[in-house]
Amino acid sequence: MQPIYRRILYGFILLAGLVWIFASVDKTGASTAGRIPAPQKGFLAPDFALKTPTGQTYTLSQLKGKAVLVNIWATWCPPCRAEMPTIQKFYQQYQSQGLVVLGVNATAQDNPLDIVPFVTQYGLTFPILLDETNDLGSKYNLRSLPSSFFVNRDGTIADVVIGGPMSDALLQTDIETILKSPAN
């Protein structure tokens, strides 16, 4: 191709690129992080309402203003068992600063009879929720256990940790991050 034609082509490509940038402007702001509910870092944590074994209901949206760790686990899962003592330790350490830990049992793929003995064995004092219909699992695209979602005070997800066990430093870092997050 002659240089002049090539340069014209390059110029046309760049001009078309500019046109496309302005044509694909997101006027609604729909893709702005924090507005779409999605189990992704930077986006609004999908809402859910689940019950504890004693029948008390916890709704995520009602916890807005607090730093929330949603940890999804099962009794048969070794990494889940391995990270539970660390989660409990940091829950006790940071509870007074506004940390809420929701230990969501993936009940649809667990034996319900094992849950209460598990909680007793590890001395867990944070709320344990039962995801009996995989409602939360579906909303949070659950494919690996454990999965942890660190939710800022404004309801957006600060970090997602798939798999485990989480290291002490990672857990502490992420908890401190969500505790420092602004409420709005």
Partner 1 sequence: MLDLFRNIFAPPRDLILLVAAAWIGMSLTEKRAARSHAEKSLVSNLIFYGVLAYLLGGRIFYALEHLPAFTQSPLSLISPNTSAFDSWGALAAALIAGFVYGQRKGMLFWSTLDALTPFFALLAIGIGFSHLASGAAFGIETTVPWGINLWGAIRQPTQIYEIIASLVTFGVIWFRKANSKPGSDFLLFAALTSASRLVIEGFRGDSTLVLGGIRSAQVIAWLILAISLVALELLKPRVIPAEVVEKVEPVMETKRKEVKRNAPSVPTGATTTSKKTPSSKTKSVTAKRKSSKD
Binding site for partner 1 (CB under 8 A): 2-3, 6-7, 10, 13-14, 17-18, 20-33, 36-40, 42-43, 46, 139, 141, 143-144, 159-164, 166-170, 172-174, 176
Phi and psi at residue 104, to the nearest 5°: -95, 115
C-beta closer to partner 1: residue 31 or 96: 31
Instruction: Give min distance, CB of 43 to partner 1, in A.
Output: 7
Of 116 and 180, CB closest to partner 1: 180
What is d(CA 11, CA 17) in angstroms, rounded to the nearest whole number? 10
* Closer residue to partner 1 in complex, CB, 26/123: 26
Q: Which residue has the tokens 């209460």?
A: 116
For the CB of residue 72, give the shortest distance to partner 1 in the complex, in Å. Answer: 13
Asked if 139 contacts 48 with a C-beta cutoff of 8 angstroms, the reply is: yes
3-state DSSP assignment of residue 130: strand
Please state the closest distance from residue 12 (CB atom) to partner 1, in A. Answer: 11
Least separation in angstroms between CB 47 and partner 1 = 12
With respect to partner 1, which residue has the nearer C-beta, 65 or 163? 163
Q: What DSSP assignment string belongs to 6-73?
A: HHHHHHHHHHHHHHHHHHT--TT-TTSTTTSB-SSTTSBPPP-EEE-TTS-EEEGGGGTTSEEEEEEE
Query: Which of the 8 DSSP states describes residue 124?
Result: -
Closest distance of CB 180 from partner 1, Å: 12
Q: Which is nearer to partner 1, 113 or 143 (CB)?
A: 143
